[in-house]
Amino acid sequence: MKEQELKDYKKAGQIAAEVLESSKSLFKKGKKFSDIAEEIESQIIKKGGNLAFPVNLSCNEIAAHYTPHPNDELTYEAQLIKVDLGVHINGCVADTAITIGPKENTDLIEASKEALNKALKLCTPGTEINKIGKTIQETIENYGFKPIKNLSGHELTTHVLHSGQVIPNYNNQDKTLLKEDQVFAIEPFATTGTGLVKDGKLSTIYSLEEHKPLRANRDVLKYIEENYKTLPFAKRWLLKKFPLPKVTLALAQMKSLGIIREYSQLIEINKSLVSQAEHTVIIKDKPIITTKI
């Protein structure tokens, strides 16, 4: 890894860690999630970072991919919240998450957190991927919960959030060896349910899939290509640049042509509670956890 690239990963990680820590104070009863999301994303930009994806504020049984949509009225009422945010510097991404919630969910929150901490210690060159998954699974099950098997950690490369290899949350028998300077987001999910998620409502989170010509609203597509590249973006972001009717029509056109995809919210199949913990790590003999304060 080049020196500048390493600096960029570390800077992105520092900003992500600081913003994630400060986000804890934003969750006050009755406060709109849309306001919380805007505050978190604004903090990232003020600190000199770029948004790697829309902040996820997934509640209770929603494991991932809830971000406030335009005119969203959902408020914080002591739900179990996964705060998942991403920062990039020159395309070098930091991806990190915590779970906050009522005291009765402390064990569930600790299960994913402890699984993450144990997994990070294994992020050295030559480690078999299945050993990390095995550690995550055993740690979560020791708390009496289940890991979510169809969610996983993921490799990060420049401007690509999900790239190459995955890090499972269970022993999937994958004997692939980690290599020095690979970058991964490790993210154990623990649940009171059976350990699988399914697609729920659409999220208003999108990403570019394929470059194709667009007859109308080409300025919206150009803006997406120039500002987000392949990284996910939110409909509400586009509304800061373009009017709602134009954005709605442009997104519908691009979806129908396969230019963009819209992510679904991911929900535990029994609608059981889910916790998440996540850090970004660079594979070294002494792993570099970029998102740890």
Angle of CA points 32, 34, 40, to nearest 5°:
105
Q: How far apart are CA 160 and CA 152, in angstroms?
A: 16
Which member of 8, 41, 84, 268 is catalytic? 84
User: 85: exposed, middle or buried (C-beta count within 10 Å: 0-12, 13-18, 19+)?
Assistant: buried
Q: Which two tokens stand for residue 127?
A: 């480690």
Q: Is 159 a catalytic residue?
A: no
The residues that bridge with 89 in the sheet, in sequence order, are 92
Tell me the β-bridge partners of 5: none
The token pair that represents 111 in the structure block: 């299960």
In the block, residue with structure tokens 């915590």: 98
Torsion angles phi and psi, residue 11, rounded to 5: -65, -45
- Active site includes 219? no
Q: Which of 35, 138, 162, 262 is catalytic?
A: 162
The residues that bridge with 75 in the sheet, in sequence order, are 32
Q: Catalytic site residue 279?
A: no
Rounded CA gap, 112 and 114, in Å? 6
How many CB atoms within 10 Å of residue 102? 10
Clarify whether 162 is annotated catalytic: yes
- Annotated catalytic, 41? no
Name the active-site residue from 8, 154, 155, 279: 154
Give the E-state strand segments of 192-244 in sequence order.
Answer: 197-208, 233-234
Question: Catalytic residue among 41, 61, 95, 155, which?
Answer: 95
Of these residues, 8, 155, 268, 278, which one is catalytic?
278
Please choose, from the candidates 51, 26, 32, the residue with its C-alpha nearest in 3D space to the C-alpha of residue 41. Answer: 51
Residue 123, token pair as written in the block: 């992020």
- Angle made by CA atoms 213, 219, 225, in degrees to the nearest 5: 70
Active site residue 65: no
- Please identify every residue annotated as catalytic: 84, 95, 154, 162, 187, 278
